[in-house]
Amino acid sequence: MKIITSPAKLMNTENSTDLLRTTSPKFIDDAAFIHSFLKPKSPKYLSELMEISPKLADENWERNQKWKAKPTTKESAPAMFAFTGEVYRGLDAKTLDKKAVDYLQKNYRMISGLYGLLKPSDKVMLYRLEMGRPFEFDEYKNLYSFWTEKLTEQLNSEMKKNELLLFLCSNEYGKVIDRKKLNHKVIDFEFYELREGKLKTIVVYTKHARGLVVRFCAETQAKTLNDVKAFNYEGYRIDEEKSTDTKLVFTR
């Protein structure tokens, strides 16, 4: 079973762990290629591309100037610990034990606009480049056209026959995987909150729940779909009626 999530805009490379030996991302040469087009871009361009404030644009321009393919340990952090957004608050990797971390190193991958596909141990530096932004570079109209074939092939090569792919990405990042060329069954997820008698999707809770599922799988060493259906953290329960053989729906 493989599990994939989106990255996070929020990062902290001061986070580290003794439970993983750091590695270099599989697509680091591709990341360096993309970055060669990103580095010269002005703060104004970054502000417009990413729809961020001038202050944030200046901050990310500085990050782009400092970025390198082979950072030192002080300049980087393992990806699973570097991302600190809502998914990663749900995952809370720093409180996992060695057995859980080893499980994720084997089974868990993070999609990234800059780095492509990341293992938990892969060293990353501070960056911001969302997959869905209309970043044109070289002959590519956007990051999807650059990454789709590469990432789909990589997932196929990493997965064994009949292995499931737990798809815990946002639509923005999930679109980079070409499901028609993926040789594996994909399991989608939906999370609902019961509010005033109605089931509602609340984005921040959905992101948090995705991280909780990753954590649950690691802590329970989940191997089958039935193992995943048992997910029950923070009040969530499987809704068997709404779930299908390719989609798991959890409510609370």
C-alpha distances (whole Å) from 100 to each of 50, 124, 183, 195 are: 35, 21, 27, 33
C-alpha distances (whole Å) from 108 to each of 42, 211, 223 are: 35, 11, 13
> 17-57, pLDDT tens digit by residue?
889 999 999 999 999 999 999 999 999 999 999 999 999 99
Taking the domains of the chain in order of start, what are their residue ranges? Answer: 2-251
Whether the pLDDT of residue 215 is over 90: the answer is: yes
With a threshold of 0.85, does the pTM exceed it? yes
Whether the pLDDT of residue 15 is over 90: the answer is: no
> 161-189, pLDDT tens digit by residue?
889 999 999 999 999 999 999 999 999 99
What is the residue-averaged pLDDT of the chain? 96
CB-count exposure of residue 193 (10 Å: 0-12, 13-18, 19+)? middle
pLDDT of residue 20: 92
> 111-138, pLDDT tens digit by residue?
999 999 999 999 999 999 999 999 999 9
Amino acid at 250: F
> 51-100, pLDDT tens digit by residue?
999 999 999 999 999 999 999 999 999 999 999 999 999 999 999 999 99
pLDDT of residue 173: 97
- Burial annotation 38-47 (CB, 10 A radius, 16+ → b, else e): beebebeebb
Cβ–Cβ contacts within 10 Å for residue 57, how many?
22
